[in-house]
Amino acid sequence: MKTILVTGGAGFIGSNFVHYLLENYDDLTIVNLDLLTYAGNLDNLADIAEDKRYTFVRGDIHDRALVEELFDKWDFDTVVNFAAESHVDRSITDPDLFLTTNVLGTQTLLDVAKNHWKLDPKDRYSREFKEGVKYLQVSTDEVYGALGPTGMFTETTPLAPNSPYSASKASADFVVRAYDKTYGMPVNITRCSNNYGPYQFPEKLIPLMINNCLAEKSLPVYGDGMQIRDWLYVEDHCAAICAVLEKGALGEVYNIGGNNERANIEIVKLILENTGKSEDLIVHVKDRPGHDRRYAIDNTKITGTLGWSPKYTFQTGMAQTIEWYLHHREWMDKIVSGEYLKYYENMYANR
Q: Give whichever of 106 and 212 is closer to ligand NAD, judged by the CB atom.
A: 106
Residue type, 286: K
Q: Is 7 in the site for ligand NAD (CB under 6 A)?
A: yes
Assess whether 180 carries a catalytic annotation.
no
CA 173 to CA 338: how far, in whole Å?
A: 33
Q: Is 264 in the site for ligand NAD (CB under 6 A)?
A: no
- Which of 187, 189, 192, 241 is close enough to bind ligand NAD by CB under 6 A? 192
- Which of 5, 32, 40, 117 is close enough to bind ligand NAD by CB under 6 A? 40
Assess whether 165 carries a catalytic annotation.
yes
Secondary-structure breakdown of the chain: helix, strand, coil percentages, each rounded to the nearest 5? 45, 15, 35
Q: Which of 60, 77, 142, 235 is catalytic?
A: 142
* Shortest Å, Cβ 69 to ligand NAD: 15
Find the radius of gyration of the CA atoms of the chain. 20
Question: By C-alpha distance, which of 79, 89, 72, 6 is closest to 45?
Answer: 6
Assess whether 199 carries a catalytic annotation.
no
CA dihedral 341, 230, 41, 350 (to 10 degrees): -10
**Footprint of ligand NAD on 195-254 (CB under 6 A):** 195, 201
If 0-12 CB within 10 Å is exposed, 13-18 middle and 19+ buried, where does residue 195 land?
A: buried
Q: Is 274 in the site for ligand NAD (CB under 6 A)?
A: no
Q: Is 188 in the site for ligand NAD (CB under 6 A)?
A: no
In the chain, what is the straight-line distance between the N-terminal and C-terminal CA atoms, in Å?
Answer: 48
- Which of 78, 108, 194, 321 is close enough to bind ligand NAD by CB under 6 A? 194
Q: Give whichever of 127 and 334 is closer to ligand NAD, judged by the CB atom.
A: 334
Contact (Cβ atoms closer than 8 angstroms) between residue 78 and residue 245: yes
Residues noted as catalytic = 141-142, 165
Query: Which residues are near ligand NAD by CB under 6 A?
Result: 7-8, 10-14, 33-37, 39-40, 60-62, 82-86, 101, 105, 138, 140, 169, 192, 194-195, 201
